Structure 1
Amino acid sequence: MPSIVTCHGITLNYQDEGPLDAPPIILIMGLGAQMTVWPDSFYYGLVENGFRVIRFDNRDTGLSSQLEHCGRPSLIKAWLSRRLKISSKAPYTLEDMCQDVLELMKALKIKKAHLVGASMGGMIAQLLAAKHKKKVLSLTSIMSSSSAPALSRSNLGLLLKLVRLKPTAQNQESAVEYLVKLNQLIGSPDYPQDEHILKQQARLSVSRAHTPDGFKRQLVALTHSESKDHLLKKIKAPTLVIHGLADPIIPLSAGQKTAQQIHKAKFKVVPGMGHNFPPELMKKLTKWVSKHVSKAERKLLEKKSRNRPIGA
């Protein structure tokens, strides 16, 4: 896969498919997840529907820059700093990760794009749509929130399991077992995946890249992120919010709140979907996103037509 280097020296590995003159869609992945977590059926489904689609590894993930010089941040200190006003500095912020997306667009000569973000990637996309309005043609926020997930009765038990869930050793096989158990915990109850398939996917992911410290640095950036509630009202781009009814990480109420705060946002609930991308649902999600982007493109063309001088 090709890569670009930002003005801050961050290497971003990416994939760019579809006609260069087609409407561009940029997929922004979530916490600790490589760009390959975007299912191929969804990615190439969008390409087949006539779009230019870019997916990439966020900093500290996959084949993009690993910021090892930033060290291993303390997750406990980061969490406490939000609640007890303890001084704690993040290696970087979600705003820095927004800048990575803008740098990628600049390198690929994309002036404006349709953004699709999942989980933390949805938060990054929301920030871009609020603070860089002229760069965003439409926004799709999937299984995301306007702020870092808060502890609740519904997710506390799961979060405690995730904290206890650690690789038993520093080797690839332990990392594979960890990913399998993680995906089983956060997956979709109505669409359980075969453990053998999960193990195959985990092996492919670990063989491509394994960045546990990068995950921690991203998590600290997420933890330090302020609520974007006040910013969502500034979003003018046509917005689609998609959320799983059975999401164990970010509750449905967070998706509802996001949709309510963005002017004229459309809200789609997916029964039985957790915090992952079940293969059985990719045809539906591809259709929803394609329809949303196409509608935004039509409105843009209509606006240009109305503003065109008579006789031009």
Structure 2
Amino acid sequence: MPLPKVRANGIELFYDTTGDPADPCVLLVMGLGTQMIAWSNALVERIAAKGFFVVRYDNRDVGLSTHLDGAFAINPLLALVALKLRVRLPLAYTLTDMAADGIALLDALGVDRAHVVGASMGGMIAQLMAAGWPDRVASLTSIMSSSGAPEVPGPTAEVRRALLRRRPKPGERDAAIRGGAEIMRLLSFPDPARDEAMLAEMAAAAFDRNYDPAGGRRQLLAILADGSRVERLARITAPTLVIHGEADPLIPVAAGEDLVRRIPGARLERIAQMAHDLPPAQLPLLARLIVDHARAADPALDEAAGG
């Protein structure tokens, strides 16, 4: 069976779908250096079971989608120094290009409008979809993300150090898995439904599917170059839900509070037992929030579901 890839926006995007294509579409957009499998099957199936056609995909430069091998990919620490010095760095692509990827995927699948859900960098991409293609976004759900405004607080010192460390080389499987699990531990809420062994299994699954530190660096450069989205966020007309964990050490909950001030009509759902992750114990709540928001954004859909 051929892999589910489509040519979209000049690249190939790997994707999968769950549910009936005749149902309203929920498009899931994942974050920095993170593959679509980080949207757990349990969450996807919960959303689809409520009458939605769920699409998740690998962003460019991650997973099984096109990797821009050989394109400029700078060390994160050097990128931050360049940003402070206002040095322009060559970009392989922008966050707007990545937003256009998602819209092109919808085109390829014959989807006119989608309920777009993005996590972390995926939330930034989803914001740009809603701002740039308002007719294509039925609703926006931005999870553990940011406006990019410079006054929003950043990560804890421990998390910053961990993210700036040199990543193991592709041949260093064990080290890469240990490092990946450690970063997930730092970013995740200590959910009793997820033990240390599960983090290692998740890191191993991601490594074995694809491992490309250079791709992650190019994505990070796109985030840094995008800067503040404040002016663009003011153009968003889609009903917007902001979900943020109160224990997030990477993008603090203050960033979620800032987003609801920037996006007209947005509302915030704070989750106490969530950090910069999608904790297994919170999946029923997350699915319900996403589904209820999509239904509220589409009166006909809400009516069909019994109000």
TM-score by length of 1: 0.90
Query: In the aligned structure 2, how far is the partner of 1:147 from the partner of 1:300?
Result: 33
1:91-127 deviation line (CA, Å, top 9, x unaligned): 1100110111111011001111110000000001001
1:218-270 deviation line (CA, Å, top 9, x unaligned): 11111111211111111111110000000000011110110122121121000
Moved more, 239-248 or 224-233: 224-233
Query: In the aligned structure 1, how far is the partner of 2:27 from the partner of 2:248?
Result: 24
> Paired residue for 1:204?
205
Counterpart contact for 2:154–2:252, Cα < 8 Å: no
> Paired residue for 2:4?
2
> Paired residue for 1:236?
237
1:7-53 deviation line (CA, Å, top 9, x unaligned): 42x11000012111100010000000000000111111111111000
Query: In the aligned structure 1, how far is the partner of 2:214 from the partner of 2:299?
Result: 43
Matched, 1:81 2:82: yes
Question: Superposed, which structure 2 residues align to 1:2-151 within 5 Å?
Answer: 2-8=4-10, 10-147=11-148
Instruction: State the identity as a percent.
Output: 37
Shift of the 154–130 alpha-carbon distance from structure 1 to 2, 3 Å rule, reads: closer
Report how far residue 164 of structure 1 moved. Answer: 3.1
Shift of the 265–196 alpha-carbon distance from structure 1 to 2, 3 Å rule, reads: same
Runs of 4+ with deviation above 6 angstroms: 148-151, 299-302
Asked which structure has the greater CA Rg, the reply is 1
> Paired residue for 1:305?
none
Shift of the 135–159 alpha-carbon distance from structure 1 to 2, 3 Å rule, reads: same
1:122-180 deviation line (CA, Å, top 9, x unaligned): 00100111111111100000000011787858623320233236438832222111111
Shift of the 62–42 alpha-carbon distance from structure 1 to 2, 3 Å rule, reads: same
Query: In the aligned structure 2, how far is the partner of 1:182 from the partner of 1:146?
Result: 23
Q: How many residues align?
A: 301
Matched AA of 1:268: E
Query: In the aligned structure 2, how far is the partner of 1:93 from the partner of 1:119?
Result: 16
> Paired residue for 1:225?
226
SS in 1 for 2:291: helix
Identify unmatched segments of 5+ residues in structure 2. none
Query: In the aligned structure 1, how far is the partner of 2:64 from the partner of 2:301?
Result: 35
Query: In the aligned structure 2, how far is the partner of 1:151 from the partner of 1:230?
Result: 15
Query: In the aligned structure 1, how far is the partner of 2:217 from the partner of 2:260?
Result: 29
Shift of the 192–246 alpha-carbon distance from structure 1 to 2, 3 Å rule, reads: farther
Shift of the 190–156 alpha-carbon distance from structure 1 to 2, 3 Å rule, reads: same
Report how far residue 81 of structure 1 moved. Answer: 3.2
Counterpart contact for 1:240–1:265, Cα < 8 Å: yes
Question: Superposed, which structure 2 residues align to 1:133-172 within 5 Å?
Answer: 133-147=134-148, 152=153, 155-164=156-165, 166-167=167-168, 170-172=171-173
Counterpart contact for 1:144–1:254, Cα < 8 Å: yes
RMSD over aligned CA atoms reads 2.1
Shift of the 190–160 alpha-carbon distance from structure 1 to 2, 3 Å rule, reads: same
Matched, 1:263 2:264: yes
Moved more, 150-159 or 85-94: 150-159
Shift of the 149–270 alpha-carbon distance from structure 1 to 2, 3 Å rule, reads: farther
Matched AA of 1:82: L
Query: In the aligned structure 2, how far is the partner of 1:12 from the partner of 1:282?
Result: 26
Matched AA of 2:143: I
Report how far residue 204 of structure 1 moved. Answer: 1.5
Matched AA of 2:44: Y
SS in 1 for 2:32: coil
Moved more, 137-146 or 62-71: 62-71
Counterpart contact for 2:245–2:273, Cα < 8 Å: yes
> Paired residue for 1:295?
296
